[in-house]
């Protein structure tokens, strides 16, 4: 506002002026090992974002989970309530896990390989547009998580061919080969894709299946939102348990086609049940993956944590309509 001269009368009318923007305060966690970190010029975009008027913040470069936990605790104590995860689905899961049960919001700057969660939440891919979203009108959406040993995962957890493949996946491959890295990892792990007997307990009910791949689905999609693996939704309070029985090229090929073609009558993917608490054991100890990272071995207990994490999403984002994917599976549940 212009300064008044000493003799100038002060008007009794309210001055017309631009509204003072509310200052936004962000704590940003950056994973520089994310698949598209350098391709999408993340460092440059962050610099532009932090020099925007009415924006202040702090950047933490991810080194290890222990240091991150300590810094997030400090940031929350300093008054930060808007946190931003810059990376892929694994980075988002890590940040959300360490902020669990706290009154805060998480924004996503999706610069990983698949960025499945961001796609499901209709968050723009890439650094520039996803950072812009944080400053535009938006809303907050509560999302369910799969809770495993006090960690949160948002997509799926599995044991079998996928977990063997991910345990064989190299970081350099993900960086340079993107989705092809997963294809090569599956090919290398095919020798391990044999049927195993899994013992399941779903909401207290026990059953057994023989499968080469068993998965607990929270998001219901793979690679892209329209490619449906099950009827699961990330805010319906339940997870779906499904499996692929054989690890033969024909069976796995049909499973891929089940997803790509969104077949109403599935050929290879079989449904077991929906539930809130799932325990998986196997006749032998095998790796377990969740959201693209190996997290341990069988046995494992998975709990659906309802509306656990609040994400910043576009204001006009739809509530994830399933459209043609609703009831896509012609699958009577296994009798538990």
Residue 32: CATH number of its domain = 3.40.50.10330
State how far the Cα of 222 lies from the Cα of 224, in Å rounded to an integer: 6
Two tokens, residue 265: 């009558």
d(CA 186, CA 326): 29
H helices then E strands: how many in the chain? Answer: 9, 18
Confidence at residue 265, expressed as pLDDT on a 0 to 100 scale: 85
Residue 182 lies in domain: 153-307+318-325
In this prediction, residue 78 carries a pLDDT of 95
Q: Give the pLDDT of residue 312.
A: 97
The pLDDT assigned to 331 comes to 53
Whether residue 11 is contained in a domain is answered as: no
Count other C-beta atoms under 10 Å from residue 120's C-beta.
Answer: 23
Look at residues 109, 136, 163 and tell me which one is the last residue of a structural domain: 136
Backbone φ and ψ of 288, nearest 5°: -125, 135
Whether residue 223 is contained in a domain is answered as: yes
Q: Which helix (H) or strand (E) holds 186?
A: helix 179-189
- Are the beta carbons of 160 and 213 closer than 8 angstroms? yes
Q: Are 109 and 236 in a shared domain?
A: no
Q: What is the mean pLDDT of each run of 10 residues along the chain (336 residues)?
A: 42 38 85 82 91 90 95 96 95 96 96 91 93 92 96 96 75 55 57 85 97 95 88 95 89 83 86 97 93 92 97 73 43 50
In a domain, 13, yes or no: no
In a domain, 56, yes or no: yes
Confidence (pLDDT) at 239: 98
Q: How far is CA 335 from the centre of its chain?
A: 31
Q: Is residue 228 part of a domain?
A: yes
pLDDT for res 217: 97
Number of domains observed in the structure of the chain: 2
pLDDT at position 176 is: 54
């Amino acid at each position: 506002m212009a300064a008044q001269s000493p003799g100038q009368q002060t008007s009794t009318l309210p001055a017309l002026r631009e509204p003072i923007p509310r200052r936004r305060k962000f704590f940003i966690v950056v994973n520089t090992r994310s698949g598209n970190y350098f391709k999408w010029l993340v460092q440059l975009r962050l610099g532009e974002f932090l020099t925007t008027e009415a924006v202040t913040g702090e950047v933490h470069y991810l080194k290890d989970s222990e240091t991150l936990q300590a810094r997030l605790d400090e940031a929350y104590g300093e008054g930060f309530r808007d946190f931003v995860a810059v990376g892929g689905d694994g980075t988002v899961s890590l940040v959300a896990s360490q902020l669990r049960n706290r009154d805060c919001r998480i924004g996503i700057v999706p610069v990983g390989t698949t960025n499945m969660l961001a796609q499901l939440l209709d968050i723009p891919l890439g650094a520039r547009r996803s950072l812009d979203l944080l400053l535009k009108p938006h809303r907050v959406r509560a999302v369910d998580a799969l809770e495993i040993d006090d960690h949160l995962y948002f997509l799926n957890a599995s044991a079998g061919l996928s977990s063997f493949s991910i345990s064989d996946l190299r970081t350099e491959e993900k960086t340079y080969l993107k989705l092809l890295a997963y294809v090569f990892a599956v090919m290398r792990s095919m020798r391990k894709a044999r049927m195993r007997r899994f013992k399941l307990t779903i909401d207290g009910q026990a059953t057994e299946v023989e499968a080469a791949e068993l998965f607990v689905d929270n998001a219901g999609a793979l690679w892209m939102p329209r490619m449906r693996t099950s009827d699961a939704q990330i805010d319906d309070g339940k997870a779906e348990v499904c499996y692929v029985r054989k690890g033969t090229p024909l069976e796995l090929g049909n499973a891929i086609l089940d997803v790509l073609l969104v077949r109403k009558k599935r050929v290879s993917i079989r449904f077991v049940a929906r539930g809130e608490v799932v325990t998986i054991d196997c006749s032998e100890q095998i790796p377990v993956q969740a959201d693209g990272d190996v997290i341990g071995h069988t046995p494992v207990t998975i709990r659906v944590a309802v509306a656990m994490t609040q994400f910043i999403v576009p204001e006009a984002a739809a509530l994830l309509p399933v459209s043609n994917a609703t009831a896509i599976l012609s699958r009577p549940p296994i009798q538990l």
